[in-house]
Amino acid sequence: MTTSVVTGQVDIKDVSVSYDTRSGRQLAVTTTNLSIRPGEFVCLLGPSGCGKSTLLNCVAGFVTPTTGRILVDGVEVLGPGPDRGMVFQQYSLFPWKTVRENIAFGPRVTGRGGDSPTIVANTFLGMIGLSKFADHYPRELSGGMQQRVGIARALANYPSVLLMDEPFGALDSQTRHMMQASLLQIWREFGITVIFVTHDVDEAVFLADRIIVMGASPGRVVANIPVDLPRPRGDDCVTSASFTSIRNACLRHIKAESRRAFELNAG
């Protein structure tokens, strides 16, 4: 299905997040500003501890910013909502429900989608190529298949924003490449805004319209890098000079931030 992009604007305004720890107040994310256009595919890239997952969880409504605010289509995020679908690294499926029931769960609870929850689930099963597995349970599927179900379940509410927290990190290399291509196809069909957290530079360059590189101590945006590679992207994309140039730019920022974090911790 193809939809015109009219929703999915995300605005992060002066957001910071801090936590209480044994050693005192810890600043996880410092004052951050970022605007993401409707239908844009943005990757948050950086090493562990740079605050990228914390920032994503703020957009999801799971974490409340200490200061600042987040708007989705002009409405302030005050908690989780069906306008934002979330996909985690761990598949987070209901083990006691079949594949079809997992996908139908959101529409059944929220009433979004228009059609009956079963019809919605069947539609997405066809889209992810798992119609034959509709009555299987998650334990009977491979990791890649379970993650496809997780993406379909997130999309079944027809959200305006899809949030993905290292969703392919637990997959083997070949399955990961297949899932990246599948995700881009779904993204093109839906015209949905995607915010994708990863620490894999090649993955970020292959997927994104724009890469936000984050640094640690505290977490903050250190680079905003446009990815002007043509779409659709195939295997030849990763061997191009443009891909290498963008990859190297990302690596320079990450290396500089890693060195800075090391020196701070050493001191």
Cα gap 143→145, rounded to integer Å: 5
What mean pLDDT comes out for the span 83-88?
Answer: 93
Q: Are 105 and 124 in contact (CB under 8 A)?
A: no
Token match 């107040």: residue? 25
Could you tell me if residue 184 is inside a domain? Answer: yes
Q: Are 224 and 210 in contact (CB under 8 A)?
A: yes
Cα gap 126→132, rounded to integer Å: 9
Number of domains into which the chain is organized? 2
Confidence of residue 2 (pLDDT cuts 50, 70, 90): very low
Could you tell me if residue 4 is inside a domain? Answer: no
Let me know whether 124 and 230 are in one domain: no
Residue 145 CA, chain-centre distance (Å), reads 18
Let me know whether 167 and 154 are in one domain: no
Let me know whether 103 and 139 are in one domain: yes
Let me know whether 151 and 165 are in one domain: no
CATH of the domain at 22: 3.40.50.300
Give 235-255 pLDDT, tens digit per residue. Answer: 899 999 999 999 999 999 998
Could you tell me if residue 3 is inside a domain? Answer: no
Pairing of strands 161-165, 67-72: unpaired
Give 111-170 pLDDT, tens digit per residue. Answer: 776 668 999 999 999 888 899 999 999 999 998 899 999 999 999 988 999 999 999 888
Let me know whether 215 and 255 are in one domain: yes
The pLDDT value recorded for residue 165 is: 94
Let me know whether 14 and 47 are in one domain: yes
Let me know whether 123 and 69 are in one domain: no
For residue 255, which amino acid is it? K
What mean pLDDT comes out for the span 185-207?
Answer: 94
Q: Find residue 195's DSSP bridge partners.
A: 42, 163
Let me know whether 69 and 176 are in one domain: yes
> Whole domain around residue 137: which residue ranges?
92-158
What mean pLDDT comes out for the span 198-207?
Answer: 96
- Diameter of the chain by CA atoms? 60
Let me know whether 76 and 122 are in one domain: no
Let me know whether 115 and 126 are in one domain: yes
Give 9-20 pLDDT, tens digit per residue. Answer: 999 999 999 988
Q: Report the range out of 23-27, 223-227, 254-258 with the highest average pLDDT.
A: 223-227
Give 33-66 pLDDT, tens digit per residue. Answer: 999 999 999 999 988 888 999 999 999 999 999 9
